[in-house]
Structure 1
Amino acid sequence: MNVLLLGAGGREHALAWKLAQSPGMGRFYALPGNPGIAEHAKPVEGVALSAHQSLVAWCRAQAIDLVVVGPEAPLVAGLVDRLAEAGIAAFGPTAAAARLEGSKLFTKELCRANNIPTAAFGRFTTPDAAFAYVQAQGAPIVVKADGLMAGKGVVVAFTVEEAISAVEQVFAAGGAEVLIEEFMEGEEASLFCLVDGETVVPFGSAQDHKRAFDGDLGPNTGGMGAYSPAPVLTPDLEARAIAEIVVPTAKAMVALGAPYRGILYAGLMLTAAGPKLVEYNCRFGDPECQVLMPRLESDLLAVLDATAHGRLAEAEVRWSPRSALTVVYASRGYPGSYQTGLEISGLAEAGAVEGVLVFQAGTKRVAAKLVSNGGRVLNVTGTGRTLAEARSRAYDAAARIDWPEGFYRSDIGWRALK
């Protein structure tokens, strides 16, 4: 089977690493890829990820059997629709189905219409109306921009003044509408499900760390680390979340004429009243994918292909009982301004630690040197019989990397280990 993987981050490196192990793999390409992905898949040159027409033509010319879409932007922009029109199979939802991530307002209204547990909310097209709602509700309260925000379009405001400032920022940035939600008490967890129409198959759990600094302090980021499985998401809670949240969503999308096909990532809040939906993502999480792939024992290519072709019910999904934990090594200054082009060394020494994989995210090659090329640059992933062992190995490996301009949190996994 000839495969094209789209994306350039740590998520895609983890997918490439796992896909390359499939006995069914033929020619394997990546666009745009990164130096780590290039160890498994041949980089595609001369085609832009955003140039859908050229991308489809390239897939036809190369007899691509399956396109695996890593990031959310091409999904929301309708790449899967263009591929389908050309008769090319893709793992990922259509644009209509990807609205579950592309529009927080769409998802909230779908939840309201189908009695899916989620936070109470209001939606506003003018700042004054939003200000009045915030003042009436009080704080803490959550302010969200609609649309794709790379994991950073959410402000958890602990004062009314902070919420009003967040509303002002949304409209100042050109947002047409703002979503304001009740603050939900509880612990967050990530639940992944493969979905093919109304067929839903659980595909692992994780917990990530959004704040930039130790102790869950600092600004929100795209994720500074994660671990899997999530002990807090017990089998009973997972079953309840699937029955009360994911399955009704899948059925609702079928009823809307936009059946979902791909991975559906449900961000959950585990409240005293049970699991509630925080938000959906229409692709694998990053860095959650980096702890799921090392635990997956099944043939990933076979599973993704079955989903893409409407045969999910036939797919075999097996997981290792081992734990995995990843530490994100980021550019100093992230998620604010930061430098790029700074040399990184020691990856071989880090990867030599037992049970460790180093996935590259924001990197590039300049001559013979590996240099930083983004905010989140490396994912140092440890596996072990226990979460504590996985964590110890990940931090042992991270300490062997020589990159003075980088930083990482020292407390990934603290919730599960406390």
Structure 2
Amino acid sequence: MKVAPLYFLIGHIIVVGIAGVKLDVKSDAFCSSFCVCDMWYRLRRASCTSRHLYSVQTGVSNAVQALDLSNNSISALLNYELKNTGLVNLKYLNLSDNSISEIGSFAFANIDDLAVLDLSRNHLYYVLWDTFVDSRSLRILHLNGNRFGTRIPDLHSNSISELGLSDCQISHVNRQAFAGLKNLRKLDLSNNFMMQIDYREIEILPTLQVINLDNNPWSCGDMKRLLSHLEDRSIVFDSPCNKSRKTGGEKTADRTMKKFEKMIDATRQQDQNQDRDREYGVMMSPTTTWITDPPPPVIGAGNKSKSETIIDRDGLLHALADVSPLWIFAVGFSVGFVTSMLFTYIWVTGMISGCWRCPKIPRRNLGATRDNASQRISLLGGHPACPGTPPPPYRDVILNSSSYPTAPSVVSI
């Protein structure tokens, strides 16, 4: 009696093992060497993440229903590329964390069962309006982490019910941006740069139930009409201007206000310092501080005379640091050029006029020397000397005594 349950247990284990082997065989049948395949929410899934793939062609069979190609190097989705690869039975496609910058209008053509598409954190700057027109089963579309800016995709789809536009650097929502999403129920606009949004841009979404507006620098004075419209339609949202509970938008606004307050405080402090300096007779310049009449001495500081000029060395160093190196080079070049030209001029003029270092006999002295020689010759020749003529040298008189008249001798009586 006790043996039967034991046989039953062994048989059950064998059946389960055989089923597992069959499942593995089937998994290997639709899998690829680049991927790991398994069953996921009753879907045949191929996970091909972080394999440095450049396209959606991974080698998996058309039996795959969920394909994860996240964190690869795919840069574009061409028209009919998924169809030509044979992935026509996809219901879930994850292409997040790639480098996709271009999507063809017919990239998802003939993928009729696709319900969830994740294109988060790519390099998308725009999406053509008719990209998802033929994707009639698409329910969830994630475009978070792209760089749309003010060019929010003007999508048209009657099936999309959830749209993610978080962290897309959106600063403005264009008119009729969501007009082509008539069945949209959940919209995520968090972590963007929007300051206000017109309530009429939400009014055109008749089926909207949930909206996320967190972490935007909202201008609460212009949000009253929108918030009132959301409350009247019983749309679920966290009020960005609720003072009792600060959301990310208000935190961002608070940080912005704190930055402005710091700037204002710095400006006021500078004005106060300038007023105080004027009281002490201080003349300030943008770069260097010159103090002609210093304030009262500080205890512990050295005594300085009133006539002594004190230079704020820190201000001077900051001023020199702010000067462009090009200006310093230009000033140095100008000074060097002027100095070299001056010395060149002096050197050239000296060469033209002769050796300016050698001693020269003035022409006037040469003429005077000639005049003195002629006078001396005339005296030696017996000519009467002119008044003011100096007497001949004693040596000439002794050597040429016959040329000079002798004085009469005096006879003493």
Same fold (TM > 0.5): no
TM-score by length of 2: 0.20
TM-score by length of 1: 0.20
